[in-house]
Copies of this chain bind each other. A is one copy, B any other.
């Protein structure tokens, strides 16, 4: 009888060997997810791809959900890290410049492991801890709101929370959609220009408008 699976990570590795194994498993998970899709990514297949026994997989990840959740976290952490670090850099830039910088940054962030990102977005059910792909958005929203608070004089009057929601949701969606449907426009700058325009026009005072 299979008891209810846990979702929290299992024990911390205590030997160097473990670290390597964990890494191999996560990397294999990404590979299998991309190659086979979420539904065909069984724990056995993943273990095999990692060159590890299923037992080892379950030693570190108590369930399939925990495994994918860990991968999601690793992925979003990577993306968030870049965003956070950039925030300080653009904190003092005026609207148009900051927007352009951030949009480009976000596009770059999504270009890191686009295939994995796509699978995570499209196929992983947004349920339980798996939904945390969307944590990036939550963090982005907080940063966005913080930036707006520091620049209210440049902005038309807005409800900060609502505006942050609108901006981040739109930009994220455009980035994802572009990744999936228009990968070429990600690199030639045309998309960055459009998204920047969207944000600047939405938030800016008429006088502050930049073409």
A→B interface (CB under 8 Å): 1-2, 4-5, 37-39, 63-65, 122-123, 125-127, 131, 159, 162-163, 165-166, 169-170, 172-174, 177, 181-182, 185, 190-191, 194-195, 197-198, 201-202, 206, 209
Q: Complex: how many Å from CA A209 to CA B209?
A: 12
| Of B126, B162, B194, the contact of A162 (CB 8 Å cutoff) | B194
Q: Complex: how many Å from CA A177 to CA B181?
A: 20
| Of B122, B170, B177, the contact of A198 (CB 8 Å cutoff) | B170
| Of B39, B131, B163, B174, the contact of A169 (CB 8 Å cutoff) | B174
| Of B1, B4, B170, B172, the contact of A63 (CB 8 Å cutoff) | B1
Which 7 A-B pairs rank lowest in CB-CB distance, beginning with the nearest?
A173-B173, A2-B2, A170-B170, A201-B201, A122-B126, A123-B125, A169-B177
Q: Tell whether A165 pairs with B177 under 8 Å between CB atoms, given A2-B2, A123-B127.
A: yes
Q: Complex: how many Å from CA A7 to CA B50?
A: 26
| Of B123, B127, B163, B201, the contact of A202 (CB 8 Å cutoff) | B201
